[in-house]
Amino acid sequence: MQQLANRLYHKTIKRWMPFWRDVSTQNNSLEKLSLEPVLNANHEKVLLTWMDACLQSDGGEVAARGRAAELGRHFLGLNDAGRVRFLSLMADHYNVDEPRLTIATKAWLAADAGERVSLEAELRSALEPPRMKLLTQFNELPQGIKFLVDMREQLLRLGKEHPNLVPLEADLKRLLSAWFDVGLLQMEEINWRSSAELLEKLIAYEAVHAIKDWNDLKNRLDSDRRCFAFFHPNMPDEPLIFVEVALVKGMASNVQELLDETAPLEDISLADTAIFYSISNAQAGLAGISFGNFLIKRVVKQLQQEFTQLTAFATLSPIPDFCRWLDTIDVEKESALLDEGLALRSPEHMQKMAIHYLGKEKQKRNPNHARDPVAHFHLSNGAQIERLNWMADTSDKGIKQSNGMMVNYLYQLPHIESRIQDYSTKGKVALSAKIEKQLNI
Amino acid sequence: MQQLANRLYHKTIKRWMPFWRDVSTQNNSLEKLSLEPVLNANHEKVLLTWMDACLQSDGGEVAARGRAAELGRHFLGLNDAGRVRFLSLMADHYNVDEPRLTIATKAWLAADAGERVSLEAELRSALEPPRMKLLTQFNELPQGIKFLVDMREQLLRLGKEHPNLVPLEADLKRLLSAWFDVGLLQMEEINWRSSAELLEKLIAYEAVHAIKDWNDLKNRLDSDRRCFAFFHPNMPDEPLIFVEVALVKGMASNVQELLDETAPLEDISLADTAIFYSISNAQAGLAGISFGNFLIKRVVKQLQQEFTQLTAFATLSPIPDFCRWLDTIDVEKESALLDEGLALRSPEHMQKMAIHYLGKEKQKRNPNHARDPVAHFHLSNGAQIERLNWMADTSDKGIKQSNGMMVNYLYQLPHIESRIQDYSTKGKVALSAKIEKQLNI
Amino acid sequence: MQQLANRLYHKTIKRWMPFWRDVSTQNNSLEKLSLEPVLNANHEKVLLTWMDACLQSDGGEVAARGRAAELGRHFLGLNDAGRVRFLSLMADHYNVDEPRLTIATKAWLAADAGERVSLEAELRSALEPPRMKLLTQFNELPQGIKFLVDMREQLLRLGKEHPNLVPLEADLKRLLSAWFDVGLLQMEEINWRSSAELLEKLIAYEAVHAIKDWNDLKNRLDSDRRCFAFFHPNMPDEPLIFVEVALVKGMASNVQELLDETAPLEDISLADTAIFYSISNAQAGLAGISFGNFLIKRVVKQLQQEFTQLTAFATLSPIPDFCRWLDTIDVEKESALLDEGLALRSPEHMQKMAIHYLGKEKQKRNPNHARDPVAHFHLSNGAQIERLNWMADTSDKGIKQSNGMMVNYLYQLPHIESRIQDYSTKGKVALSAKIEKQLNI
Amino acid sequence: MQQLANRLYHKTIKRWMPFWRDVSTQNNSLEKLSLEPVLNANHEKVLLTWMDACLQSDGGEVAARGRAAELGRHFLGLNDAGRVRFLSLMADHYNVDEPRLTIATKAWLAADAGERVSLEAELRSALEPPRMKLLTQFNELPQGIKFLVDMREQLLRLGKEHPNLVPLEADLKRLLSAWFDVGLLQMEEINWRSSAELLEKLIAYEAVHAIKDWNDLKNRLDSDRRCFAFFHPNMPDEPLIFVEVALVKGMASNVQELLDETAPLEDISLADTAIFYSISNAQAGLAGISFGNFLIKRVVKQLQQEFTQLTAFATLSPIPDFCRWLDTIDVEKESALLDEGLALRSPEHMQKMAIHYLGKEKQKRNPNHARDPVAHFHLSNGAQIERLNWMADTSDKGIKQSNGMMVNYLYQLPHIESRIQDYSTKGKVALSAKIEKQLNI
């Protein structure tokens, strides 16, 4: 998937590059830099001069942004090693001005209550590293926002080996968090009438049940399905997150039927249940900036309006960490959950274990949070664990993750708020009567 | 103008209000608040509870934003006195947490260089007043961004008498500055094929040469004219700033001809000059967040592409503060600028005075900046003072401001950067040969 | 109104003319024709050569259409006298080929039943005057369809004095009837978000209650109003017919209230009645090609879907010929309709007369058809005469036409078909109980 | 291909059917007809009653069109045998009214010159079979135009075995010819940003070089390619005809390179030649209604504007009938074209034969027309035979049709008109110097 995404991205860049060249300033000393993918000491010196030039706006803000375009173009021509050097220049040279901040903090501490408020502005300003301006300036470019999102993706990756980049990544996250606030995003439906350019990205970005080919995709966009995504207005061709929904009669118990291209179309007028069977974040560079909970709730509202006959909104979700967890526990604990008459690791036993895992196991860091990440996502959004399904995902991935089991999480609008509260404050997990019974036997 | 703008705004609000009610949460204790336009102590208590509820997100972020919608709706129902109270609640109760900030500043000061970077995040976080979250939450609503822009307009107005509101206004400005960064805006052409809803706003917002009626407007959008504006993607029906351009042969010397509805259409293929004869900021709530310089330069680029025969880009601009300045100077100074043979305040003398005023008079606060605000705007964008025009705006306003005189500022792309630099660093004003001569006689 | 329409049209033409010149062929002998607005004999000879060239397609159909463009451009430069000559050339020279048609008719008559069908094609072909091809060829041009519609408008006007043009007008009508078949048209809503270019045309084309200015127009497009129009896909900026609807509580009894710009907005959620208070044909060149009945019924369907609470669909219609009819009848007849105790021409008497006129008076040409044209239109569409309203249109026009009276025609979906049938076959007029009572007293 | 097209069509129908049911009238006696796919005598009687009802509009035209919708829906439920019966009802029962036509023809013949024109209208009217109205009425339905286009496709197919259907097919062709006049069509670019729904149809409809899959399609829509199609405004999702163009340096000599998905992107700024390498009619139901010549010339204009550096516009075309022709000629003729030293059927000999075939062989029916249909198409559009290419299409189809050879036809704008004329009047074939030399050796 990442490979295809990369390929798409580089195509896009290729298309834009001539234009970028165009918007950058004419008297272009960077141009003289050989466009070798690695940087040597001399190159770095030139780059620093350019970065300085972007940050001073003696010649006007418009020109400064033009220079930022040139820098961006240069960055795109570098290989990974070159990019680490480029980013390190930004990370190492344009930090917070410590002397200024020292003065500001001391002034604030020394002030009395009445004066403090007016000193906070300088404190805030002193805390802003100069490179924030440089990062911001990239946004005016064609595809500039996508450029920054992808730069953060790289920072997240590179930061593991180059800790000096971490503060730069944090700065970029702050910038992107402001711009990608959920209130600025637009929810749009994606269907077979969407552009091939966009649909191709669904194939690339789908993270739960891989889309095999265009026929598989078409099946998922048929008239008994819905797909919705959030978009940022400055990245109109790039979904940020998308969810795939099947309109069915009764609660879907396995993903094989949903993805069967030869299955007949559902009669949509008989559907009573909306099954959210896949939700994928599409932009690795937006990690940690969440909008999944907003997307689910807006989709529920939208579907309620379009299909007044729907009575249930539920997911069909993987249990990604079940088998990993199973490997970590000892036989004793496992046996303790073994009912009389059940063979160890029999289907019945496995289901019992899975229900225990979902309902009882917690994160070490936070005893209120379910250990399974998908369970935690839906529980923290106010869903209830509704049903465990055996042989629900018989793909290799499904077997490997959870022995083929999947869960339905049920979203019941009137209870969502109280469940979120119970879960976030007390770690209480909402369970259907059936699950509760299974858990307690 | 403001009156019409208000009327439009209230129409819009009226249209949205039923919907807002809809998106707010159902169990709505605020609803019980009588919708009286003033607030009493009891109301304030209820409001504080609601504000608290928005800031804690125990019940989930989605619900919290729903509550913010309810608050926003309530705010719209208040009169000015009520709004002052409402805003004062936000300004007085959700300030920076001083104890936390004290700890953070001390920790940072005590840390050694290596540790400081990691402590900056907490310092930044502690500096963020809780009300920022509340302000942000309004954005998800329909017209939420416009709501915030207008809230800032009110804060700017009310802040003069209620200084406690100033820090809230500053917070809001920071938020809006991030969202209205020029790189996130879209430039669009406005013409007679635009919607009446949008065009009506040009009439309301035009700040330089008032648009008398729809015929006047139509004349300004005819085939020998162009109008461009910046838009924010979340406020698609609201121009942020717009500029009106006439395509003419030779440099326009007065605004009467440009605005004459009975004048024949120019043969656009003969035009060699683009005259920017009006530029208006449309959103008082975005005061201090500038994009005028970007708009002019983007428009120049756009026009160069569309009309390759254009050789000059110039303004026909008012001199808004000339007469006010004239009133302040003493006869002695005035006489010093009087050539032999010229009668005091004769046309020749007035022109000489105006050229002196534009080219030599500086702001007290900054000796590099021209005293006239329009002159300062164009000079700081790299324009040159090209020509002074007598009887160029014979409207009451024109006579009153500048004795009917106007200026052409000329934008010459190759010189823009150096002129910006010379002006910003040395206060050097670029002058045409003719003006220079007039200035030195 | 016609004046404004003309002005708009000529503006459009002006905008297109440079382009037309462009699409016409390069080696352009017509260009040599001085563009004088009148034609002399020599010009006519050149034109005939050109028309011949369009009809032979030796050099290809694409080139022939290019020549038609040139002819069209030339036509637009002519004054009325010139146009009569131009059109007369087409009318007189490119008629049905009589010898060919003679042969074809004789062949058909001589053939036996089995052969006749195969001879019909030639008969049809022989009946097609060559100029049909020329007319068709204009359509490929920008605004070509509008050009033809307007040419027919002129033919209708000029045909009164120049009967030789009548067959040409009939040919054009046949062509336009095929292209403007109602199934090819699109119904669209017009509102304040429509383009000024389109809205301006509503002001120009409104034929029932003149639109005074943009404020009047805006009031008619407010949130308690609806306006719908038919459009042809090749004339996207030109409405063909449009209807204005008010959503009100109870059946509107006068037009003054509907058009009162100061009246408060109706609460649309309380509206139970849709009042069609104005329906205007916008293209004089499409006279005799009707789509009014289709528009009304599609609008009813649309409104039913959008506002499920609507229970009545009615018009508030003028009685355009009442006073003219009143002038024609003699006192005796008038007195016969005078009840005891009623003063002649008292309000009560006038209403009695109007009800009689609407319900009983028939066209001389067709005794099934109501004499009043508006009454005939609605009755033939299946409406019922519901109520007569006194002082319902107090404008000069309203007083002059019908002493200020107006009628509500009621459309009741379940009865429409049978009423159409009763009216068209028996001339039976559907009446409300109240009207029936008034009629029979 | 046809299979996929059918499948797409039936999907579309399925989607629309519920809606059709909705627009048809409520009191629906047809509904009682069991929806068996065959018709019995009783069914036919019911259908005739319905057809009669559509043709009389006693109950109004709107209702009549509603009934036509019901008929259309019924038709779609029938199998081929049923459809033959349905269409035969229309073909046999709603013919021209012979007695009326007899009277009209006699009247016309008997009239003197002055009267004849006024009698032509009745003659024309009498020649119109009543079923024309029925056919027209289908167009108001959703997808009604596509319904008629597909009905003609079936009539063309069924007409071979059921000659009674031929006149109905001819009527439908007349109707469609008027509606699909080239001046009413819109040319649009198709690219990777087009909807998947539309792109899928390119795969289905491509008739020259089959599109293997979505990757093949994407390659044909890459940035060094262009694809244009004509659309009818009432069939926005259905291309009528489309052409695929490659922008290359030098004249492309084989199709393998053009279709090679692994080939690098061409640098479009270096391209000097536009190669039209595939042109496909997409609607079998529009057979005989031509727009290919218009499409090519509009595309040339469009490309000239977008890429001013283009100097040549040429095709890379198949020679579909070469091998078929080769099979028909006798050895003697073949040998006559054999130069000394050339082996029979050697590559050199085959090329000589092909050039002879293209340049000299004529249709039996028309000695001015080239025998090869593709050659005839381009020659009649004013192109020149520029070059023969060996091993230019090595697909099975290419080998089978023309031993792998293809031709470049060159469109030179200044010569197009004269070449069309020479070809259409004298059968003169335009040849490049090289081809001329090869032909004459």
Please give the share of chain D, as a percent, with pLDDT higher than 70: 90
CB of C197 less than 8 A from some CB of B: yes
Phi and psi torsions of A257, nearest 5°: -65, -40
Specify the pLDDT at position C374.
95
Q: Are A180 and A223 in contact (CB under 8 A)?
A: no
Contacts with A117 from chain B: Cβ below 8 Å: 95-96, 167
Over residues A361-400, the pLDDT tens digits come to 999 999 999 999 999 999 999 999 999 999 999 999 999 9
- Which of D196, D213, D214 lies at the smallest CB-CB distance from A194? D196
Cα of C114 to nearest chain D Cα, Å: 11
Contacts of B338 (CB under 8 A, 6+ apart): B344, B349, B352
Contact A196 D192 (CB under 8 A): yes
Specify the pLDDT at position C34.
41
> How big is the B-C interface in CB pairs under 8 Å?
33
Residue type (1 letter), B200: E
Q: For C338-370, give the DSSP string.
A: PPTTPPTT-HHHHHHHHHHHHHH-B-SS-TTSB
Give the chain A residue nearest D215 (alpha carbons). A214
What would the mean pLDDT of C391-403 be, rounded to a whole number? 95
For residues C17, C20, C22, C24, the Cα torsion angle rounded to the nearest 10 degrees is -140
For residue A290, pLDDT beyond 90: no
Among C210, C205, C193, C274, which Cα is nearest to C238's? C205
- Which of C136, C233, C382 lies at the smallest CB-CB distance from D60? C382
CB of C336 less than 8 A from some CB of D: no
Please give the share of chain A, as a percent, with pLDDT higher than 70: 90
Helix axes B80-93, B61-76, angle to 10 degrees: 140
Give the chain B residue nearest C196 (alpha carbons). B196
For residue A159, pLDDT beyond 90: yes
**CATH architecture assignment, domain B183-439:** 3-Layer(aba) Sandwich (3.40)
Determine the Cα–Cα distance for residues D419 and D429; give it in Å rounded to an integer. 8
Among B182, B277, B269, B173, which Cα is nearest to B230's? B182
For residue A319, pLDDT beyond 60: yes
Contact A195 D195 (CB under 8 A): yes
> Which one from D74, D317, D376, D402 is the annotated catalytic residue?
D317
Q: H-helix or E-strand containing C409?
A: strand C406-411
Determine the Cα–Cα distance for residues D315 and D299; give it in Å rounded to an integer. 12
| CATH 1.20.140.90 location in chain D | 15-95+130-179
| CATH 3.40.630.150 location in chain B | 183-439
Please give the share of chain C, as a percent, with pLDDT higher than 70: 90
> Which one from C24, C253, C278, C317 is the annotated catalytic residue?
C317
| 3-class DSSP assignment, residue C24 | coil
Contact D123 C127 (CB under 8 A): yes
Contact D170 C416 (CB under 8 A): no
Structure tokens at D59: 């109950």
Among C249, C241, C245, which Cα is nearest to C222's? C245
Determine the Cα–Cα distance for residues D125 and C170; give it in Å rounded to an integer. 13
Q: Residue A58: CA atoms inside 13 Å, Cβ hemisphere, count?
A: 10
CATH 1.20.140.90 for the A15-95+130-179 domain, yes or no: yes
Select from C27, C54, C62 the residue whose CB has the most chain D CBs within 10 Å, as the one to mutate to test that interface: C62
Contacts with D223 from chain A: Cβ below 8 Å: 15
Structure tokens at C180: 């403007």
Q: Which chains touch A (3 or more CB pairs under 8 A)?
A: B, D
Render each residue's pLDDT in chain B as its tens digit; 441 residues.
344 444 444 444 444 343 333 333 333 344 444 445 556 777 888 889 889 988 887 778 888 888 888 888 888 888 888 899 999 999 999 999 999 999 999 999 999 988 898 899 999 999 999 999 999 998 877 789 999 999 999 999 999 999 999 999 999 999 999 999 998 999 999 999 999 999 999 999 999 999 999 999 999 999 999 999 999 999 999 999 999 999 999 999 999 999 999 988 878 889 999 999 999 999 999 999 988 889 999 999 999 999 999 999 999 999 999 999 999 988 777 777 766 677 778 888 899 999 999 999 999 999 999 999 999 999 999 999 999 999 999 999 999 999 999 999 999 988 998 999 999 999 999 999 999 998 876
Looking at every residue in chain D, the average pLDDT score rounds to 87
Cα of C289 to nearest chain B Cα, Å: 28
| Lowest-confidence pick of A341-350, A426-435, B210-219 | A341-350
In D164-309, the DSSP E strands lie at 186-190, 225-231, 239-248, 273-281
- Which of D60, D145, D380 lies at the smallest CB-CB distance from C416? D60
| CA B138 to chain CA mean position, Å | 22
Give the chain B residue nearest A235 (alpha carbons). B184
Specify the pLDDT at position D23.
35
Q: Are C23 and C69 in contact (CB under 8 A)?
A: yes
DSSP strand pairing (D406-411 vs D384-389): antiparallel
Q: Are C334 and C350 in contact (CB under 8 A)?
A: no
- Which of A14, A197, A223 lies at the smallest CB-CB distance from D192? A197
D281 forms bridges with which residues in the sheet?
Answer: D241
- Which of D105, D117, D184 lies at the smallest CB-CB distance from C234? D184
Determine the Cα–Cα distance for residues B341 and B325; give it in Å rounded to an integer. 24
| 3-class DSSP assignment, residue D46 | helix
Specify the pLDDT at position B291.
86
Give the chain C residue nearest B198 (alpha carbons). C193
Structure tokens at C32: 């040599």
Over residues A207-244, the pLDDT tens digits come to 999 999 999 999 999 999 999 999 999 999 999 999 99
Distances (CA, A) of D276 to A249, D390, D415: 51, 18, 18
Q: H-helix or E-strand containing C44?
A: helix C41-55
Determine the Cα–Cα distance for residues D294 and C67; give it in Å rounded to an integer. 15
Q: H-helix or E-strand containing B17?
A: helix B2-23
Q: Which chains touch D (3 or more CB pairs under 8 A)?
A: A, C
Structure tokens at D39: 């018709």
Cα of A151 to nearest chain D Cα, Å: 25
Distances (CA, A) of D228 to C33, C249, D428: 37, 52, 30
Q: For D395-420, give the DSSP string.
A: SHHHHHHHTT-EEEEEE-HHHHHHHH
CB contacts under 8 A, C 114-133 vs D, are: 116-117, 120-121, 123-124, 127
Q: Give the 3-state DSSP-derived string for chain A, with helices as H, strands as E and coil as C.
A: CHHHHHHHHHHHHHHHHHHHHHHCCCCCHHHHCCCCCCCCHHHHHHHHHHHHHHHCCCCCHHHHHHHHHHHHHHHHCCCHHHHHHHHHHHHHHCCCCHHHHHHHHHHHHHCCHHHHHHHHHHHHHHHCCCHHHHHHHHHHCCCHHHHHHHHHHHHHHHCCCCHHHHHHHHHHHHHHHHHCCHHHCEEEECCCCCEHHHHHHHHHHCCCCCCCCHHHHHHHCCCCEEEEEEECCCCCCCEEEEEEEEEECCCCCCHHHHHCCCCCCCCHHHCCEEEEEEEEECCHHHCCCCCHHHHHHHHHHHHHHHCCCCCEEEECECCCCHHHHHHHCCHHHHHHCCCCCCCCCCHHHHHHHHHHHHHHCECCCCCCCECCHHHHHHHHCCCEEEEEECCCCCCHHHHHHHCCCEEEEEECHHHHHHHHHHHHHHCCCCECHHHHHHHHC
ipTM over 0.95: no
Contact B105 A102 (CB under 8 A): no
Helix axes A373-380, A292-306, angle to 10 degrees: 60
CB of B193 less than 8 A from some CB of C: yes
Active site residue C378: yes
Query: DSSP state, D251?
Result: -
Contact A223 D15 (CB under 8 A): yes
> Which one from C74, C232, C378, C402 is the annotated catalytic residue?
C378
Specify the pLDDT at position C13.
42
DSSP strand pairing (A312-315 vs A273-281): parallel
For residue A22, pLDDT beyond 80: no
Phi and psi torsions of A100, nearest 5°: -60, -45
Structure tokens at A151: 């730069």
Other beta carbons within 10 Å of C29: 13
> Which one from A24, A280, A317, A402 is the annotated catalytic residue?
A317
Specify the pLDDT at position A39.
66
Select from D188, D195, D211 the residue whose CB has the most chain A CBs within 10 Å, as the one to mutate to test that interface: D195
| 3-class DSSP assignment, residue D58 | coil
Specify the pLDDT at position B359.
93
| Lowest-confidence pick of B9-13, C325-329, D287-291, D365-369 | B9-13
CB of C195 less than 8 A from some CB of B: yes
| Lowest-confidence pick of A232-241, A260-269, A302-311, A382-391 | A260-269
Q: For B229-261, give the DSSP string.
A: EEE-TT-TT-EEEEEEEEEESS----HHHHH-T
Determine the Cα–Cα distance for residues A398 and A404; give it in Å rounded to an integer. 5
Over residues D169-184, the pLDDT tens digits come to 999 999 999 999 998 9
Touch of D by A (3+ CB pairs closer than 8 Å) = yes
Contact A179 B178 (CB under 8 A): yes
Q: Are D265 and D223 in contact (CB under 8 A)?
A: yes
Burial of C410 (0-12, 13-18, 19+ CB in 10 A): buried
Distances (CA, A) of D312 to D253, D275, D304, D307, D414: 14, 8, 10, 11, 12
Q: What is the largest CA-CA distance in chain A?
A: 83
- Which of D192, D196, D265 lies at the smallest CB-CB distance from A192? D196
CB of A218 less than 8 A from some CB of D: yes
Cα of A364 to nearest chain B Cα, Å: 21
Over residues C65-123, the pLDDT tens digits come to 888 888 888 888 888 888 999 999 999 999 999 999 999 999 999 999 888 988 999 99
Q: Are B316 and B210 in contact (CB under 8 A)?
A: no
Laid out side by side, the sheet with B239-248 consists of: B186-189, B225-231, B239-248, B273-281, B312-315, B406-411, B384-389
Please give the share of chain C, as a percent, with pLDDT higher than 90: 68
Contacts with C184 from chain D: Cβ below 8 Å: 139, 145, 179, 233-234
> Which one from B317, B369, B376, B402 is the annotated catalytic residue?
B317
